[in-house]
Amino acid sequence: MDLVHLWLCLVGLVIILYVVLDGFSLGVGMLFPTARNEEERDVLMNSIAPIWDANQTWLVFGGGALFATFPMVYTILFSALYIPLLTFIFGLIFRGVAFEFRANSTRKTKWNRAFFLGSVVAVFAQGITLGGYISGTTVVDGHFAGGPFDWLHAFSVMVGLALIAGYSLLGATYLIIKTTGTVQERARRQAFWLALVVGGFMLLVSVWTPVHDPSIPARWFSVPRVYFIWTFPLLGVVAFFTLLKSLMAKKSVTPFLSAIVLFISAYLGLLAALYPYAIPPAVTVLEAASQRETLIFTLWGACLVLPVVLGYTIYSYWVFRGKVVAEEGYH
Amino acid sequence: MDVVFLSRLQFGLTTAFHIIFPTLTIGLALYLVIVEFLWLKTREEIYYRMYRFWVKIFAIHFAVGVVTGITLEFEFGTNFARFSQAVANVIAPLLAYEGMTAFFLEAGFLGIMLFGWNRVPRVIHFLSTCLVALGATLSSFWIMAANSWMQTPAGYELVDGKFMVTDFWKAIFNPSFPTHLIHMVLASYETAAFVVAGISAYFLLREKDVLFYRKSLKLAFLLAVMIAPLQVFVGDQKGLVVAHHQPAKLAAMESHWETNTEGGAPFVLFAIPDMEAERNRFEVTVPNGLSLLITHSMNGKIQGLKDFPPQDRPNALITYWTFRIMVGIGFLFPAVMLWGIVLWWRNRLFDTPLFLKTLVAIQPLGFIATVSGWVTAEMGRQPWVVYGLLRTTDGVSPIAAGNVIWSLTLFMFFFALIGASYFFYVLRTLRRGPDLTSPIPPVQRPAGMRPVKDSM
């Protein structure tokens, strides 16, 4: 495998890590209003308080790595998707400060709202960004040449809604692991209904994508993809039924893992559909990559540092393992 | 209004708002490392209480710093896509390294630092504090490397308008990097020391938790005494680097128009630079002062702004005054510290109301100096985004101005809202004061520890 494809896999891995890790943190944020009282809200908050920042850091690294290794993707897409991307950031700002400000506040209602709204806005905008990206970007001479609202259409809005359901599902299954009693019971019910909604969306996307962009199914059925492309929907279907079964059997960890596998199946399907384009339909992966020296220099860092990062991230999760209780803050 | 102006305004605004928060967290992290070290070493409970109190201020700053920092990383792509594409090979890896080495370190151990008291042994907790402090400082390492490369690019070759790396070592350790980094890190330590000193002085004046704030002030004072004079020295060194590599910037900083041909260049003590007329209004000067400062000789030659074509000159009015503000504060701090040393000598450090009031008054000046310094550095680099090589006007994204007007409006509104909330919660945390009674977590309690009262 050459350097560019190695980096493609690495950036791809970082993005899915971000999606899963910040996905469940954002999902907990979106389920926030379903908590009945302040004590339950504290439980939800405390379930992610020590780790949300580390989860979100995968975004910072993902952004930096994309900029360093595929600068054309970074510069063209960020110009094209200006409004949804900055909306995403605005959402993250409010979600992020809500942790600290809510903990310091006596009148928590407004920060409860900021936490919820920030999470919803961030996720919806992230989905629209993804939908806008899949739909294609106008590129002339290596620069964005489209209009400011190219990303806004029914397909991208649908992806936005699908992502809200998807992250909520991750959040609910995470809460099953971290909580007890009524909060856990509710999370289980929510996970069940959300699973059905997510299943519906995935079916819808599978039908709509080829209609929306006929070049994608053409790529699906080209060699060598035609030999393995069917494994992704199969993986998705298996994960979906495992999820439902484990929820009904009141398992605690399996639902979360199944939900993650469900996400991975959709993600791999998407990647397989887009390759070899880094920016459909204009720029390929090889065209978008930066110079060899930069790829090597950054790879050194990734090889030396990321295993250590993963190590202490796992340690941190280990330190905060077990069920959360309402009063465990630092104030 | 055009995209260039709006994008610069937005980037400048988000940077200025952002920089306030890491400035304090970098410095406060060091303070917390010292406090926790003293606690583990001396077993005096007061240090534990100090840690738990100041870490609250740290946490609030950290949260705002993180979210505003992410904004900046995105703005490279959203607002300065052409610049980003041209320089990606050189400076984007530095940002990736910042994420890998610094951001992860901070984020990974912040949780343990804040919530881990009952869950990890004390040595691990102390280690977490150290790693968060290290992460914060590493963050400034990479950011300053990227920024100083834009000031004094090195280790590259230009191919078809793109900067290609020839030597990463030279690109990172470019000529202005060492002084740029040290100046910024010291600014952070200095700012945090004066913030802690100012807050402590305020409560000492009101005679609230006297023992607690005396100890806090003493520690901050010691830190400030060491750093404030050092910063003046580093600032001088940095001036020499600017003079050597960015003469137009130096001329604007000093509002120096004519290159001196006979005799020394005067130091412009006070002036209102007029870009249109190419001269200063109401200037007060010190003869030969600038030559002496920059070349360390009475008659050293200093290039004037008029040596550069008008389209290559930075804005002298802004650069001159932001530089003056920073330097003024830079000298005020060691002067106050000198006064403090005299009081310490006479054993009157804590009971001279005028001194304590001064500490309260100068407490926000560190932030003002930092922001002013940034404006000087960045405005002085104009009209270039990469000094001498790429103009800022050629670096912006091909996007509609309406996009930027929209985001800029929202940024201003949200920053005002978050800034106001931040002040509210910091002030409230301060008003509530330290918690001197709640039990010390069992995992953490070193055997035979002395309670607060005995130790002071």
Q: Cβ–Cβ of A60/B168 closer than 8 Å?
A: no
Q: Above 50 in pLDDT, residue B455?
A: no
Confidence of residue A331 (pLDDT cuts 50, 70, 90): low
Over the stretch B307-345, which tens digit does the pLDDT of each residue have? 888 888 898 889 999 999 999 999 999 999 999 999 989
pTM score, whole prediction: 0.90
Segment B370-392 shows an average pLDDT of 91
| CA dist list (Å): A65 to A15, A87, A89, B95 | 10, 21, 18, 8
Give B101-149 as a DSSP string. Answer: IIIHHHHHHHHHHHH-TTTS-HHHHHHHHHHHHHHHHHHHHHHHHHHHH
Gap between the Cα atoms of B266 and B259, Å rounded: 11
- CB < 8 Å to B428, chain A: 104
- Over residues B243-253, the mean pLDDT reads 90
* Best B64, B94, B104 residue to mutate vs chain A (most A CBs within 10 Å): B104
- pLDDT at residue A186, rounded to an integer: 94
Confidence of residue B454 (pLDDT cuts 50, 70, 90): very low
Q: Does A272 touch chain B (CB under 8 A)?
A: no
Region B264-287: mean pLDDT is 84
Judge whether residue A257 has pLDDT over 90.
yes
* pLDDT greater than 80 at residue A327: no
Report whether pLDDT(A225) > 70. Answer: yes
pLDDT in tens, B83-92: 999 999 999 9
pLDDT at B456 > cutoff 50: no
Pairing of strands B384-386, B390-391: antiparallel
**Average predicted confidence (pLDDT) for chain A:** 89
Using one digit for the tens of pLDDT, what is the confidence trace for A132-171?
A: 998 888 888 888 888 889 889 889 999 999 999 999 999 9
CA–CA gap between residue B445 and residue B434 (Å, rounded): 18
B70, B2, B85, B78: which is closest to A151 by C-alpha? B78
Cα–Cα distance measured from residue B424 to residue B259, given in angstroms and rounded to the nearest whole number: 51
Q: Please name the residues in contact with B452: beta carbons below 8 A apart, sequence gap of 6 or more.
A: B45, B46, B49, B211, B212, B436
Q: How many residues make up chain A in this entry?
A: 331
Instruction: Verify whether the Cβ–Cβ distance A104 to B429 is below 8 Å.
Output: yes
Position A281 scores a pLDDT of 82
ipTM field: 0.87
Residues 43 to 102 of B: which have CB under 8 A from any A CB?
52, 55-56, 59-60, 62-64, 66-71, 73-74, 76-78, 81-82, 84-85, 88-90, 92-93, 95-101
Least confident of A22-36, A204-218, A260-274, B88-102: A204-218
Instruction: Give me the mean pLDDT over the A270-279 stretch.
Output: 85
Q: What is the DSSP letter of B437?
A: S
Q: Is B120 on the interface with A (CB under 8 A)?
A: yes
**Residues of chain B with C-beta less than 8 angstroms from the C-beta of A59:** 70
Which residue type occupies B91? I
Q: Render pLDDT for B141-161 as a digit per residue (tens, 0 to 9).
A: 999 999 999 999 999 999 988
What is the distance between the alpha carbons of residues A115 and B65, in angstroms, rounded to a whole number?
17
**What is the pLDDT, as a whole number, of residue A164?**
96
Residue B448 predicted with pLDDT over 60: no
- The predicted pLDDT at position A194 comes to 95
Residue A309 pLDDT more than 50? yes
Contacts of A147 in chain B (CB under 8 A): 400
- Of all residues in chain B, the one with the smallest CA distance to A83 is B403
B345-371 pLDDT per residue, tens: 988 888 888 999 999 999 999 999 999
- Given a cut of 90, whether residue A195 has pLDDT beyond it is yes
A38 contact B CB<8A: no
Q: In whole numbers, what is the pLDDT of chain B averaged over residues?
A: 89
pLDDT band at A328 (very low <50, low <70, confident <90, very high): low
Say whether A50 and B407 touch across the interface (CB within 8 A).
no
How far apart CA B269 and CA B253 sit, in angstroms, is 11
Is the CB of A77 inside 8 Å of chain B's CB atoms? Answer: yes
Q: Chain A partners of B408 at a C-beta cutoff of 8 Å?
A: none
Contact at CB, B399 and A298, closer than 8 angstroms: no
pLDDT tier for residue A129 given thresholds of 50, 70 and 90:
very high
pLDDT at B2: 87
Contact check, Cβ <8 Å, A72/B78: no
CA–CA–CA angle A199, A203, A205 (5° rounding): 115
Q: Which has more confidence, B263 or A21?
A: A21
**Residue B450: DSSP 8-state:** B
* Chosen from B68, B397, B409, B440 to mutate, greatest number of chain A CBs within 10 A: B397
pLDDT in tens, B192-240: 999 999 999 999 999 888 899 999 999 999 999 999 999 999 998 998 8
pLDDT of B290 over the 90 cut: no
B452 has a pLDDT exceeding 80: no
> Is the Cβ of B341 closer than 8 Å to some Cβ of chain A?
no
Mean pLDDT of A105-131: 91
Q: Which is more confident, B264 or B451? A: B264
pLDDT grade for B47, boundaries at 50, 70 and 90: very high
Does A306 lie at the interface with B, CB-CB under 8 angstroms? yes
Q: How far is A261 from chain B (nearest CA, A)?
A: 25
* Mean pLDDT computed over A240-255: 93
A139: phi then psi, degrees, rounded to nearest 5: -125, 130
Percent above pLDDT 70 for chain B: 96
- Would you say residue B1 has pLDDT above 80? no
Residue B284 pLDDT > 60: yes
Higher pLDDT, A327 or A168: A168
